Structure formats: structure tokens, C-alpha cells
Amino acid sequence: MQVVNEELAHSLKGRDFLMLVDFKKEEINYLINLAIDLKKKQKAGETHHILKGKTLGMIFEKSSTRTRVSFEVGMYQLGGQGLFLSSNDLQIGRGESIWDTAQTLSRYLDGIMIRTFAHRKVVELARGATIPVINGLTDLSHPCQALADFQTIVENKGRLEGLKMAYIGDGNNMAHSLMMGAAKLGMHMSIATPEGYEPDSDIIVQTKANAAETGSRLVVTHDPKEAIADADIIYTDVWASMGQEAEQKEREVAFANFQVNDDLVKYAKKDFQFMHCLPAHRGEEVSESVIDGAHSIIFDQAENRLHAQKAIMAAIMS
């Protein structure tokens, strides 16, 4: 077993972490197990300075609570340092090319995390950098959150394979990352969105191909009750993400029948658990009774951003 772990550890060194679809099932499970191990060490007060003396540059073009704090604290706990870089403070905000920025930062740093809008920018940054690049969030994908979510499910349910996740709401970056991971890990997933708000069609095709290899099922529907039937995990997200504020009123109308509430969750398994990547708008995508109820594990998810991202950084930057 140790030999396999060493092989997986070696395969991850120096890699970019842009999308979960880029990783094998064994590699994702390795990261989940590493996150759980690092969490235990942190809770026990054990020093784990795996990245002693190393620095992560953190580029933020989108505001953040969980991403900034968890990456900065995570680097500190790993013995390194996180350096906050606002796009307003970088020359990239004044027209310097992404390639030049990536090349320059690669001479100073040991890794780069970027939280931005266009996924293309993350891909271009990774192409130009000679150090690992981590996707802290784009409009297309949110792999760090998804990894933390899968860690949370393992801790609460004991497994991933064969479980059913129902995602209710917008077919956004969160839906994409959960789809990719579920298909790789053998989880079944049903996604219910209003018409016109489905996940990206290319990602659906790619996910179904991966699902065929692991035996997982992917269903995309416009019926929340169909999606949530017999679900082990219920997941939702805000109806209007950052950059979509102008669509808020329009989306409130479109998503009116997609609120996760007491009436809807009756169709799930009795021991379902509720998840939300936060921030949440109580009374919109989810009722207070569900998000603040006994089935909710939203703050386990939030905490695990710290541990999952520490696993990512330790694996690719050490």
C-alpha cells in the first residue's frame, strides 16, 4: 500500500490543479485521504511543516471569504507563507500579458493560486508558469470546493462510491466540478435546473464518458423531485453567482420552484445530508429550516476547504 501511495505522491508533484477531470480516481482519493490525515494532525496539534520556506502567491480578481482565509492559514500551517495579490496591485491589471506575469511570478514563488472569472485566464497562467497553478475558482470550475465536499461526504457517510448526490439549482461552476468528481469517484448524480440553466454541454458529454468507466450515473433534468428522489446528499448553490447580479430578479422568477425546502427534501432518503458551498441566501435557494437543520453539514464543508487545499498544496508544491 505504501508503494502505491509513493507512486501517487510522485505523480502529483509539480502538477497544476485546474479541474478534477484532469486527475485519476486514485489521485483524487489520495488527495482526500491526505486531507483527512492533515486534518487529524492539525486537530492533534502536530506540526506538519511540509512546505517550510515556500511561498504561494494568491491572485484575487473575485472577492472571497473562505478561499483567502483557508489558503493563507493553510500555507501558514504547512510552514510556508501565502502572499495576497490583488489584481489592482499587479501589472496584469494594467495590461501586462498573463504569460509575462506567469513567467515573472515563477521566478519568485513556489506556487500560484488564482481566483478569477474566465477559466481561459487560469489555463493561460498555467501554460506560462513553471510552477504549479491552483484554480481557486473560475466561472467554469471550482475544484477546491468540490474536493473539500467529497472529503466531507467521506467523513460523514464513510464512502463515496454508490452514493447519490442531487444538485438543485444553477448548472454553474459548482455543478460542473461536482459532476466531474462524482463521475471519477463512482458517485451517482442527478442535476435539476430550470430550462436554459443546464450545465455546460461539453462537460455533460465528458462527464458521461467518465461515468461509464466507473459505473456512476448522471441525470440532468428540469424536475427537482425527480432529481432528489432517494438522494443521500442534497446540494444547492446561490441562484446568481458573482458577476450575475444584474440577472438576480430574472433568476428569482426562473428558479422559484427550485428552492430546497421541507417539502422537497421529503423525497430524499431519511438520513440525507444537506450541502451548500456558501455564501447562502436563506429564503431563496434554500429554506432556513433545511440549511440550519439537523441534516445540514455546511460548516463541515467550509472547514474542509482548509484541509483539502492543504492536501493540494502539500501534494503539488512539496
Catalytic residues: 115, 142, 145, 237, 277, 305
| Paired residues of 188 in beta bridges | 164
DSSP state of 282: B
H-assigned helices in the chain: 2-12, 25-43, 66-77, 98-108, 119-128, 143-157, 173-185, 201-214, 224-228, 248-254, 262-265, 288-291, 298-317
Q: How far apart are CA 212 and CA 192, in angstroms?
A: 20
Residue 59 phi, psi dihedral angles, 5° rounding: -95, 125
Pairing type for strands 164-168 and 133-137 reads unpaired
Q: How far apart are CA 112 and CA 65, in angstroms?
A: 18
**H-helix or E-strand spanning residue 236:** strand 233-236
DSSP states of 109-147 as a string?
Answer: -SEEEEE-S-HHHHHHHHHH-SS-EEEEE-SS--HHHHH
**Of the candidates 105, 60, 74, which has an alpha carbon nearest to the alpha carbon of residue 311?**
74
CA angle in degrees (0–180, nearest 5) for 187-188-190: 140
Q: Are 147 and 20 in contact (CB under 8 A)?
A: yes
